[in-house]
Structure 1
Amino acid sequence: MITLFCLPYAGGSAQVYKRWAGKLHSSIRLIPAELAGRGSRMGQPFYRNTAEAVQDLLPLVRQAALGGGSYALFGHSMGSMLAYELLHALREESMPLPAASFLSGRGAPHSEYEQGRRIHELPDAEFLDEVKQLGGMSAELLQHRELLDLFLPILRADFKLVGEYEPKPRKPLPLRLTILGGKEDSTVKGSLVEWEYYAAGGCDRVLFDGGHFFIHEQESDVVALLNKTLTAVPALI
C-alpha cells in the first residue's frame, strides 16, 4: 500500500481529487489535503504565506513519512508550489522523502518568480478576468453572486500565496521528480525542462493534451500515469 497526498490548485479544495478514488489502483490510498479556509475547514483563517501553509501540511505528511510505508506527493499549479516547499521542509527535518513526487501545471520556481504577477491586488472585475483566463471556473459560479462572494476570498488568498512566493536558493532535492504539463497551457512560465535544476535525480517530463486544467480534461490519462508509477514502487514492510 502506498499513500498519495494531493495538494489542490488555487481556489480548489480536497474535493477536486476525490473523484480519483474509484480510479486509482487498489494499492493506492488517496488523501486529498484540505487547506485552511475551504471545504471541511471553512471558517479557519487563510494562510498568511507559503511557510505557514507548509507548516500546516507537515503533520499530515510526517505521519506517513514516519510510519514506515511508502508515500507520494501530487500537486497541481499552486499545489505544485506547495509540494515543492513541502519536500524541502521534509528534507530539513531529515524525514524519509516520498517514493514519487508529481509536480503539475507550474514552471520551475525561478521561472515563475521572475514573471510573477500580484493579480490578487486587482479590483474584483479585473481579478476575475485574470482568473477566468486560466479556465476551470464554472459558468454557474460566475452567474451566482452569492457563490462568487463566498469563493472570491478563497481565490484572493490563494493567489496572494502564489503572487508573494519567493523561492530560496537551496541545494537540489535528493530525488527524481515527475513533471506534468498541458501542451496548450499558456500560463506556465519558462520551460518545464528547467525543473532539472531542482532535483539531483533529474526529472521525467510528461505532457498531456489540454490547457492549464488538463488534470481534469485528461483525467483518465493522468490517473493511468499515477497507477503505473505508484504500483511500480517497491512495497515497504
Structure 2
Amino acid sequence: MKLFCIPHAGGSTIPYNAWKKHLHDHIEFIPLDLPGHMPRFREPLCDNVEDIVNDLLQSVKNSLHPDETYALYGHSMGGMLLYFLYFRLLEEGYEPPAHLFFSSRWPPYHHNEKAQYDLENEKESKRRFLGMGGFNEIILNNPSMLDYHMNVLLTDFRLIQSVGTSSLRTIYSDITVLWSDKEPDIEDEDIYKWKLSAGKSIAFVKMKGSHFFPTEEPLKTANVINVTLRKYKESGGMP
C-alpha cells in the first residue's frame, strides 16, 4: 500500500521521512511536497488552492498505478488540502483511497474563528507562528533561514484563509482523525466536526504532544498508521 503524505503549512515532508523506519514493510511512504517549499524551494510559492490541489493530483498520478491500494495523510494545512484532493481524485476516475488520515485540522466546512490570523499585520502573524513551535534551533538562529520560513508560512496562511468555509461533502473512505492534547487553536469540538463527512467508518485518536506530534513523535504516529492500515492487508484489500 502506498501512503501519500501532505505536510503542514510552511513545512515539507522531509521531517516526516522519520516514519519510514517505523512503518510496516507493506506501506510505502510517498511524500507530496508543495511548490516553493523544501525540497521544491526553487519553484514559486502558490497561494491558490485549486492550483495546489492540481499539483498534488499530478504528483499522485505520477506515483499511483490503477490497481494499487493507497491511503493519504494530511497534517494541519495538509489536512485541508487532503479534503479537496480526495474529491479531485474521484473526479479523475480514481478508486477512493482505502483510508484518509486528517491530522490536527478541522474540516473546511467548519469555521474555526480561533485559528484566524490578521495577515495584514505581518509582525503579529509571525509572532503567532513562532508561538506554535516547529522551528529547530538552526532555523531560529539563522535570520535568513527564519525569514524564508516566515514568508512561506505567510503565503500558506493566505491560501488557507482564502478558502473560507466550503460545502459539506460525504467521504466514502474510512477516516482516522488525529490531533494533540496541546493544540494552540483547535478544540476537540472542531475535530469532531469530521463526523459530518463520514460515509464509512471514522476513528478519533488524541495524541500527547504539540501540534507537531507527527514529526516530534514519529514512532507513535507510525504505530497508529500501522495498526490502522494492517486490516487492509489482512482482509485481502491489497494487491
Q: Same fold (TM over 0.5)?
A: yes
Q: Tell me how far apart the structure 2 counterparts of residues 149 and 135 of structure 1 sit (CA, whole Å).
A: 15
CA distance in 1, matches of 2:193, 2:168: 15
Query: Is contact 1:120–1:127 with CA below 8 Å preserved after alignment?
Result: yes
Partner residue in 2 for 1:236: 238
**C-alpha contact 1:36 1:45 (8 A) present in aligned 2:** yes
d(CA) in 2 for partners of 1:75, 1:147: 25
Note if contact 1:142-1:148 (Cα within 8 Å) is conserved in structure 2. Answer: yes
Of 142-151 and 75-84, more deviation after overlay is shown by 142-151
Relative to 1, partners in 2 of residues 1:26 and 1:54: Cα closer, same or farther, differing over 3 Å? Answer: same
* Secondary structure, counterpart of 2:119 in structure 1: helix
- Alpha-carbon displacement from aligned partner over 1:28-70 (angstroms, at most 9, x marks no partner): 1111111100223112111231111000010222345543111
Give the superposition deviation at 1:219.
2.3
For residues 108 and 171 of structure 1, what CA distance do their matches in structure 2 show? 10
Give the aligned partner of residue 174 of structure 2: 176
Amino acid of the structure 2 residue aligned with 1:161: L
How many residues end up aligned between the 2 structures?
Answer: 235
| SS in structure 1 of the partner of residue 110 of structure 2 | helix
Secondary structure in structure 2 of the residue aligned to 1:31: strand
In the alignment, is residue 30 of structure 1 matched against residue 32 of structure 2? no
Deviation (angstroms), 1:225: 0.9
- Partners of 1:187 and 1:212 within 8 A in 2: no
Residue of structure 1 equivalent to 2:194 = 195
- For 1:170-194, what per-residue CA distance to the aligned partner results, in whole angstroms no more than 9, with x for missing partners? 4311222110010121322543211
Are the equivalent residues in 1 in contact too, given 2:74–2:101 (CA < 8 A)?
Answer: yes
Q: Does structure 2 retain, via aligned residues, the 8 Å contact 1:71–1:100?
A: yes
Structure 1 match to 2:107: 108
The aligned amino acid for 2:220 is D
- How far apart are residue 149 of structure 1 and its match? 2.5
Partner of 2:84: 85
Q: Is the 8 A contact 2:111 2:165 kept in 1?
A: no
Separation in 2, partners of 1:64, 1:15: 18
Equivalence for 2:151: 153
User: Structure 2 CA distance, aligned partners of 1:87 and 1:127?
Assistant: 30
Matches within 5 A, 1:44-123: 44-63=43-62, 66-112=65-111, 115=114, 117-123=116-122
The answer to whether structure 1 residue 227 and structure 2 residue 207 are counterparts is no
Unaligned stretches of 5+ in structure 1? Answer: none
Which is worse superposed, 218-227 or 111-120?
Answer: 111-120
The CA RMSD over aligned residues, in Å, is 1.9
The residue identity in structure 2 corresponding to 1:168 is S
CA change 1:217–1:150 in 2 (3 A) is: closer
Give how far 1:209 is off: 0.9
Given that 2:182 and 2:208 are in contact with CA atoms closer than 8 Å, whether structure 1 keeps it comes out as: yes
Equivalence for 1:165: 163
TM-score, normalized by length of structure 2? 0.90
Q: Does 1:185 align with 2:198?
A: no
The share of aligned pairs that are identical, in percent, is 30
